[in-house]
Structure 1
Amino acid sequence: MATSKTLVSQSQYFSNKTHSRKTLNKINSFTRITYVSHDLMKSRHGFHKSSFSLKLNHFALWESKNDSHGRILHVPSISRAIVASANMNKNDEYHKQKNMTFVEELRSVAMKLHVKDPSRKGGNNETMAQILMKEKPSLHGYVNFLVDSKVVYDALEKIVTDTDYSSYAELRNTGLERSGALAKDLEWFTEEMGIQIPPPTTAGIAYASYLEEVAVKNPKAIFCHFYDIYFGLAAGGRMLGKRASEKILEKKELEFYKWNNGELSELLQNARERLNKVAQSWSREEKDRCLEETEISFKYSEDIMKLIIS
């Protein structure tokens, strides 16, 4: 009969930067180890799970008195096997990454951040998009969201147009630009709904300021923010816009969610090709530095999205 033990000690072979859980399943004369780890210093790589089989003589096991748990006393073979397995996973990830286009890498990193966040206050571990899709937007909050969004798009579009960095030419005139559309929408709120447009909040100002700063310190980082901002709007952003339209605007479709100068799918494909073209000449280190901006972009964007239900 198969039995299951939890190895509660941590081998000296593992870095104190890694939180790990190891599960032992004894089946006949072999033992199957499942090792799950999360490297807190490399959040982009997320969780890793490895499984492998070892003979019982590879390790020593001490039973507690109530036979409820076991503890490893000496596990050099297991430790080496786990480390070897982890290295194999890293190699597999490296080869998978190597075969990806840069846009596929951007998408992969972004998708890993679209997971439940257990750190949210009150035990709410839903993503911000899930929360916004359930909560009713407020008219005041939605206008604030549009104002802050315009501040960010203004900053980004000014950076790629005016900054003396040759690669930014690939980010110009993509048809995805939203600043002009947002200006029309805010004008509509004033003229048709009599709403006085408020100044931007600290959320929008903070993100715009960060974009201006990073464009100087690390110009390549802008390509990550470009992807997250425009492609994010084309995906989940449109769903949030549709819900706001149905709940508070009597199904009015804002210009923010229209792309009149071409089919959206074609515009996005053109942008993908441009991003991939630029990144072809980048080193692995340069690509990784850009990919690391994804989490920063998500944080700033989430702060702005929260305004919708404020």
Structure 2
Amino acid sequence: MTLTEAAPVEVPRIKHGGFADEMRSAAMKLHTREQARGGEKEAEGPEERSVAKWEPTIEGYLKFLVDSYMVFYTLEGIVHKAAHPCYAEFRNTGLERSDNLAKDLEWFKDQGQAIPEPSDPGVRYASFLEDLSEKDALAFICHFYNIYCGHSAGGQMIGKKIAEKILDKKQLEFYKWDGELPQLLQAAREKLNRVSEGWTMEEKNRCLEETGQSFKYSRNIFRLILM
């Protein structure tokens, strides 16, 4: 398959069921048909089209990595502090990315690349997550789920294609996991199902309703790659 013929990304094979399945369904409705099999939206901007059609730059990609680091570092800090007891369930999932991103940014620095300061999309999202995590645990868990699952599926395809286009096929640490990714995702889904077992229908709907917000913030960060 050539770069221009690349098919929509497939989510790693994991068992479905429980509330995690409802969250996955809500997320798929906000994917475009070009981004994923089962996506329902039409692409509105270049970042919502197939990654095979992107024209990334090193400068833009570095902005994306820096802002992604800020978001993942913030997420992991929130979960570690666990202002709400349910957050503690999601410690040490194996999906954590900030340490890997730090290694990648150090590698770029060693190559002579200037590492930019965090930009508005990353700063805004990190601040939003900090505030949300204290006020609305249900909504925060929606962001947690979509950020990690989004990176593990579509993020892998993006990393591979960008590496082919501008990094001479180098695989970054951002796209490596200690362990089998489908198993890590399945374990995280099972934790989510356990946490949500006692939720009312109203509480589950509150979590699902936040899906659009999580996609909006993430889309703004992905857009940096094309700058």
Is this contact kept in 2: 1:102–1:279, CA < 8 A?
Answer: yes
Structure 1 segment 214-225 matched on structure 2, within 5 A: 214-225=132-143
1:131 CA displacement: 5.1
Distance in 2 (CA, whole Å) between partners of 1:269 and 1:180 is 22
Select 1:249's aligned residue among 140, 164, 167. Answer: 167
DSSP 3-state at the match of 1:158: helix
Select 1:144's aligned residue among 54, 58, 63. Answer: 63
Distance in 2 (CA, whole Å) between partners of 1:107 and 1:200 is 29
Is this contact kept in 2: 1:115–1:127, CA < 8 A?
Answer: no
Aligned residue number for residue 196 of structure 1: 114
Select 1:231's aligned residue among 128, 149, 164. Answer: 149
1:164 CA displacement: 2.6
Q: What CA deviation, in whole Å up to 9, does each residue of 1:154-191 have, x standing for no partner?
A: 11100010133211111100000000000000000001
Aligned residue number for residue 101 of structure 1: 18
Distance in 2 (CA, whole Å) between partners of 1:279 and 1:271 is 12
Distance in 2 (CA, whole Å) between partners of 1:113 and 1:258 is 26
Select 2:31's aligned residue among 92, 97, 114. Answer: 114
Query: Are the structure 2 counterparts of residues 309 and 132 from structure 1 closer, same or farther at C-alpha, using a change threshold of 3 Å?
Result: farther
State the superposition RMSD in angstroms: 1.8
Is this contact kept in 2: 1:139–1:248, CA < 8 A?
Answer: yes
Distance in 1 (CA, whole Å) between partners of 2:207 and 2:48 is 24
Aligned residue number for residue 268 of structure 1: 185
1:126 CA displacement: 6.0
Are 1:176 and 2:87 matched, yes or no? no
Structure 2: gaps (5+ residues): 1-16, 34-41
Query: What amino acid is aligned across from residue 99 of structure 2 in structure 1?
Result: G
Select 1:212's aligned residue among 108, 111, 130. Answer: 130
Are 1:299 and 2:216 matched, yes or no? yes
Is this contact kept in 1: 2:32–2:48, CA < 8 A?
Answer: no
Is this contact kept in 2: 1:129–1:236, CA < 8 A?
Answer: no
Query: Are the structure 2 counterparts of residues 222 and 307 from structure 1 closer, same or farther at C-alpha, using a change threshold of 3 Å?
Result: same
Is this contact kept in 2: 1:152–1:204, CA < 8 A?
Answer: yes
Distance in 1 (CA, whole Å) between partners of 2:205 and 2:74 is 24
Query: What amino acid is aligned across from residue 232 of structure 1 in structure 2?
Result: G
Structure 1: gaps (5+ residues): 1-99, 117-122
Query: Are the structure 2 counterparts of residues 124 and 179 from structure 1 closer, same or farther at C-alpha, using a change threshold of 3 Å?
Result: closer
1:124 CA displacement: 6.4
Distance in 2 (CA, whole Å) between partners of 1:272 and 1:217 is 23
DSSP 3-state at the match of 1:288: helix
Distance in 1 (CA, whole Å) between partners of 2:218 and 2:78 is 18
More strand by share: 1
Is this contact kept in 2: 1:114–1:127, CA < 8 A?
Answer: no
Query: What amino acid is aligned across from residue 219 of structure 2 in structure 1?
Result: E
User: How many positions carry a matched residue from both structures?
Assistant: 204
Query: Are the structure 2 counterparts of residues 290 and 134 from structure 1 closer, same or farther at C-alpha, using a change threshold of 3 Å?
Result: same
Query: What amino acid is aligned across from residue 184 of structure 1 in structure 2?
Result: K
Query: What amino acid is aligned across from residue 115 of structure 2 in structure 1?
Result: I
Query: Are the structure 2 counterparts of residues 278 and 124 from structure 1 closer, same or farther at C-alpha, using a change threshold of 3 Å?
Result: closer
Please give the TM-score of this superposition, normalised by the length of structure 2.
0.86
The sequence identity of aligned pairs, in percent, is: 54
More helix by share: 2
